[in-house]
Amino acid sequence: MLKTEVQSRQNLIDGKFVDAQSQATFESRSPAHKHEVVGVFPRSGADDVDRAVKAARQAFKSWHKVPAPKRAELLYRAAAIITRRKEEMAQALTREMGKVLKEARGDVQEAIDMTLFVAGEGRRMHGETTPSELPNKFAMSVRQPLGVVAAITPWNFPVAIPSWKLMPALLAGNTVVFKPATDTPNCGQLFIEVLVEAGVPAGVVNLVHGSGSEVGHALLTHPDINLISFTGSTETGREVLRQCGDRNRKSTVELGGKNAIMVMDDADLDLAVEGAVWGAFGTSGQRCTSSSRLVVHRKVVDAFTTKLVARAKALRLGDGLLETTEVGPVINQAALEKIHRYTEIGQAEGARLMCGGEVESGGACADGTYYRPTVFADVKPSMRIAQEEIFGPTTVVIPVDSLDEAVEVTNGVAYGLSAAIYTQNVNQAFAALAEVNTGLFYVNASTIGAEVQLPFGGTKCTGNGHREAGTPVLDIYTEWKACYIDYSGRLQKAQIDT
C-alpha cells in the first residue's frame, strides 16, 4: 500500500508554481480516514484567477500557431507519463477520493485512453470542402481554437474528467485555466504535473485551486475567458448557464442523471443482477451514470429483487486501498447526510427498505464516511427517490407490466443520460433503443462503462446538448470558419450572379 506524506501544494500560473496571493490554504482529507490529511492547497481568489487568465491569454498568441500534429506530440508524451505513473496516480486517487483501487486504476486508464484518442485527432481535425455555386471559386470550412478555456471538474472522476476537457482543449489550440474540485485537489495537481513533465509551455495550462464560490465564480465572471467547461451538480450547472448566457459566452455543462436499467421477463436474471450491482454500487453510487432505478417486469421482480438484495448485503465495505474492498466511502460528511436523508424520504413515501439504509461506522469503517448499499422495493415512479439524483449507493426497484411501460417510466424523469435493457429479444432491444430518450444506451450491460471513442453526454436536464469524448468533442473546443477563395479575376456576387 502506498503511503504518501502530507505535502503543501501550489497553483501553477504562467509556468511557475506559486502560493495564493492571500497565502490562505485548505486541507484535503481522505474520506476513508477523516483524520488523514492528503495535502494542503492554496485557497485562491479572484486575483489568482486574473493572473492565470492573463497568462493563458498571452500564451494563446503563440500556442494556437503551433501545428496541431505538433500539439498532439505533447499529448502523446503525456499519455506515456500517465502510463508510467498509473499505479502511483491510482493509489493517490483512492486515498483522496475513496473509490476502490481497481476503479481508480480504471479512472487513470480512461485518462490514458482519452489522451491517446485525442492526440490522434491532431492529424484528423477535418473540415470540409464543398462545391461552390459559382465558377472558379473554391469553398471549404476549417476549425479554429476559441482562446482561453476554463475547465471546472468534479471529484468523482478526478483524473479521467480533466483529461476529457484539457486534452481536446489543448489539441485544438486553446489555453486553459483548470480548477479541480476542492475534495480532490491532489489528483488535479498530479494531472498538471504530468503536463508540465510532458513539456507544456508556460501559460498554456494554469492550475488554480480553491472553492467554487471564489475561484469558480471568478472564472465565470472573468471577461477574458472564451469557454466555460463544467461538470458537476445540476444546481451549479444552471448557474454556469445563467452567467454565460448573460455574457454571451460559450459553455458546456455535463450535469446529473437518474439512470434506469430495464429488466424484461425474458432477461438473464443473474446477468441483470450483476449489471445492477455494478451500476448501482460501483464508485459507491457516485457516478452521473449510476443505475439508481431498476425498472423490472412484474413477472420477475420478486426473483430479481431477492437476488439483488443478497448481493448488496454481501458487498464488503472498507478502505479502497485494500484489494478485498468492493465499496469504498462516499466523498464527505455532507454527502453521507444527504444520502441518509433520501433513505428517510423513501421510507416516508411508503417504499419498502430491503437492505442498507444506514451509516456504516463499525470496525475498519469507524473513521470514514461509509454508507451501506441500499435497495428500496415497491417504488412508484413518482416518488422522490425515483425522481431525484441521490448520488450514493442507493437504488430503487420499480415494477412494470410491459416494455412500453418500462420505456415510459425510464423516460419519466428530468434527466436523460444513460439507460440499459436486459432482454433476449432483439426486437425489444431495438424498440427500447429507439424510444428511450438518453444520450447513452446499453443492451445487456449496465448503465456505466462509456468508451472514449464515442460521444458522452445526455438529454434534457443532464446538460446543454454538447458531447464530450468521441470526435464531437472538437465541436466544443473549436469554432467553424467558412472560407471562400475566388480565382475568377472578377467580382462574383453569389446568389445575385447565379
Residue for grid cell 489539441: 171
- DSSP letter assigned to residue 486: E
What sign results for the dihedral spanned by CA atoms 452, 453, 458, 464? positive
CA separation, residue 359 to residues 118, 311, 333, 350, 393 (Å): 41, 18, 11, 21, 11
Ranges of beta strands (E only) in 121-280 are 128-131, 137-145, 148-152, 175-179, 205-207, 227-231, 250-254, 260-263
- DSSP letter assigned to residue 315: P
Closest CA to 432 of 264, 275, 299: 264
All cell numbers assigned to 208: 488554480
Q: In angstroms, what is the C-alpha Rg of the chain?
A: 24
**Residue 324: how many CB atoms within 10 A of its CB?**
8
Distance of alpha carbon 175 from its chain centroid, rounded? 20
103, 254, 360, 389: the catalytic one is 254
Q: Cα–Cα–Cα angle for 359, 416, 180, nearest 5°?
A: 60
Closest CA to 191 of 169, 163, 172: 163
CA separation, residue 81 to residues 193, 199, 381 (Å): 10, 11, 47
The reply to whether 461 belongs to the active site is no
**CA–CA gap between residue 128 and residue 151 (Å, rounded):** 29
All cell numbers assigned to 69: 500534429
Please, are residues 346 and 396 in contact by the beta-carbon 8 Å criterion?
Answer: yes
Closest CA to 125 of 481, 482, 478, 483: 478
The reply to whether 239 belongs to the active site is no
**CA–CA gap between residue 181 and residue 183 (Å, rounded):** 5
All cell numbers assigned to 382: 413518482
**Phi, psi (rounded to 5 degrees) for 212:** -65, -35
Q: In terms of C-beta density within 10 A (0-12 exposed, 13-18 middle, 19 or more buried), how is residue 245 classed?
A: exposed
187, 244, 288, 461: the catalytic one is 288
Active site (catalytic) residues: 254, 288
